[in-house]
Amino acid sequence: MKQMMTLEVNGEAHELAVEKDATLLKVLREQMGLNGPKRGCDSGGCGCCTVQIDGKAVYSCLCYALSYDGARITTAEGLSSGAELHPLQSAFVEAGAVQCGYCTCGMMMAAKQLLDDCPHPDEEQIRQGISGNLCRCTGYAKIVDAVKLAAGR
Amino acid sequence: MALHKLKDFHTPGNMEDVLALLGKDAETLVLSGGTFLRGLETRGLLGDVEALVDIRKAGLHTVTTDVAGLEVGATVTFAHLQTIDEVKNTPWLAGLADALAYPPAQIRNIATIGGCVAASCPFFDIPTALMALDASVRTRGPNGVRQLPLPEFFAGMFANALEPGELVTGVAIPRAPGNTAGAFLKLEGNANDLAIVNAAVRITIDAGRTCTDVRVALGGGVAESALRVPSAEKILLGSKLDAATLQAAGDAVINDIDPMSDHRASAEYRRAVSRVMTRRALERAMARLN
């Protein structure tokens, strides 16, 4: 049986009926149609499901949705304001930090947490900041470049 | 995989309600950060669970520090504990700070101290760090409250001393006096994997720089749970902690461990690197002594 809950997702309030064992990832993707967070390993090992809950990066695949009734969620879709890209998004485009694209949304959400906490990270801090995110194309050098670029903006 | 039999998802707002829910005759699991529990679910191991009790609104989310030491509530996240001044800045807690820094932000923001102890997973880092700090586990259940030293709490792989209806409410870390410093090191296959071996130490020296108190703990599959390593501690206690003594202490750890072989490493490899990791952790702690 489903249970009612509310979420503020990318600035919009939603009332949802969710399965009791549904993860936040599942609710975002399957009920709300947000495909930024990806279902990769589904067990907290790859980072492509990363979103922010109340401003903190988490693996949405590890979160039961019902634990977060009333929470404020930001997904990669919530980074841009209208047609204007977030500095991280434009930096990822300019640095060529997107290959297959599967990790990209999670990488940007991890990088957002890093830049929120530490606006001018050095390379080591950037690499630490994205250590919970796997790029299956192994394109880390350009991802690090993109985060550096975004930090300068 | 899913929780096929799950009927109820509770988010009680106080401990009385938590205990009442755990006392019901159902397959009930306590949920804290959920990072471990979801892993069990995806492996199909939670098929019988009928109720989840999320305890994060039950008032177990505070850290207090006083002359006796630290009291860390069960639902305190790694990231929260990292913000505590004493954890950030004091050598005696440096091993805990080391261990808290290993996981990525996505885990630190959500994984909790209580959950990581209650999981009783031999490959976790924080239990090893806590063991070198003489930490004990606070529990509450139908028969009242208990305080169990970590070695008594762990009862083998994924097993612990919790009784039905009982839960971990926090961890107590007694203050270590004097010129004391700790360190923790983890050997891992990649930046987001469980430990192959981890080592935590805490050293106290007197004015003559003789070792007057010491803890050495190892984890990461060196046994069915993290454990103290008395063979190494005996060698270090009373010594001047010179290089040869640290080496001897590292070499002695193999007397107390019984490593397992799995997809991460063979028992033989774990035995070999346990010696090295112990010595390096001792060196790291010594560099932090006043």
Is the pLDDT at B193 greater than 80, yes or no? Answer: yes
Chain B: closest CA distance from residue A67 (Å): 7
Smallest Cα–Cα separation from A49: which of A109, A139, A6, A129? A109
Give the model's confidence band at B42: pLDDT under 50 very low, under 70 low, under 90 confident, else very high. Answer: confident
Domain boundary among A78, A111, A137: A78
Chain B contacts of A140, Cβ < 8 Å?
none
- Segment A15-48, tens digit of pLDDT: 999 999 999 999 999 999 999 999 999 999 999 9
Contact residues for A11 (Cβ-Cβ < 8 A; gap 6+): A78
Amino acid present at B85: D
Is the pLDDT at A13 greater than 90, yes or no? Answer: yes
Q: Residues of B at the A interface (Cβ-Cβ below 8 Å)?
A: 2-3, 6-9, 11, 31, 33-35, 38-39, 41-42, 52, 54, 56, 79, 103-107, 109-110, 191-193
Q: How many domains does chain B have?
A: 3
Chain A: closest CA distance from residue B120 (Å): 18
Rounded to 5 degrees, what angle do the CA atoms A12, A16, A17 make? 175
- Phi, psi of B140, rounded to the nearest 5 degrees: -140, 140
Domain boundary among A51, A78, A105: A78
Q: How many domains does chain A have?
A: 2
Strand B211-219 with B167-174, pairing: unpaired
Amino acid present at A14: H
Smallest Cα–Cα separation from B120: which of B151, B77, B84, B75? B151
Is the pLDDT at B36 greater than 60, yes or no? Answer: yes
Is the pLDDT at B228 greater than 80, yes or no? Answer: yes
Domain boundary among A78, A95, A117: A78
pLDDT, residue B2, reads 79
Parent domain of B256: 180-286
* CA B154 to chain centroid: 10
Which two structure tokens, joined as six digits, stand for B226?
């993290």
Q: Inspect the interface and report whether the beta carbons of A57 and B106 lie closer than 8 Å.
A: yes
DSSP character at residue B47? T
A61 touches chain B (CB under 8 A): yes
Claim to verify: residue A93 and residue A68 sit in the same structural domain: no
Rounded to 5 degrees, what angle do the CA atoms A71, A76, A80 make? 105
- Segment B68-97, tens digit of pLDDT: 999 999 999 999 999 999 999 999 999 999
Average pLDDT over residues B256-262: 96
Is the pLDDT at B25 greater than 90, yes or no? Answer: no
Is the pLDDT at B28 greater than 60, yes or no? Answer: yes
Claim to verify: residue A91 and residue A50 sit in the same structural domain: no
pLDDT, residue A1, reads 84
A98 touches chain B (CB under 8 A): no
Q: What is the DSSP string of B44-102?
A: TTTTT--EEEE-TTSS---EEEETTEEEEETT-BHHHHHTSHHHHH-GGGHHHHHHHHS
Smallest Cα–Cα separation from A43: which of B35, B192, B161, B72? B35
Which two structure tokens, joined as six digits, stand for A61?
């695949």
Smallest Cα–Cα separation from A57: which of A145, A135, A131? A131
Q: With respect to residue B3, please indicate whether it lies within any of the assigned structural domains.
A: no
Q: What is the mean pLDDT of chain B?
A: 96
Q: With respect to residue B35, please indicate whether it lies within any of the assigned structural domains.
A: yes
Is the pLDDT at B1 greater than 70, yes or no? Answer: no
Q: How far separated are the first and last CA of chain B, in Å rounded?
A: 52
Cα atoms in the Cβ-side hemisphere of radius 13 Å centred on B69 = 16
Interface test mutation site (partner B, options A43, A68, A73, A112, max chain B beta carbons within 10 A)? A43
Give the model's confidence band at A7: pLDDT under 50 very low, under 70 low, under 90 confident, else very high. Answer: very high
Q: With respect to residue B1, please indicate whether it lies within any of the assigned structural domains.
A: no
Parent domain of A118: 87-151
Report helix angle B267-286 to B243-252, nearest 10.
150
Give the model's confidence band at B264: pLDDT under 50 very low, under 70 low, under 90 confident, else very high. Answer: very high
- Segment A45-58, tens digit of pLDDT: 999 999 999 999 99
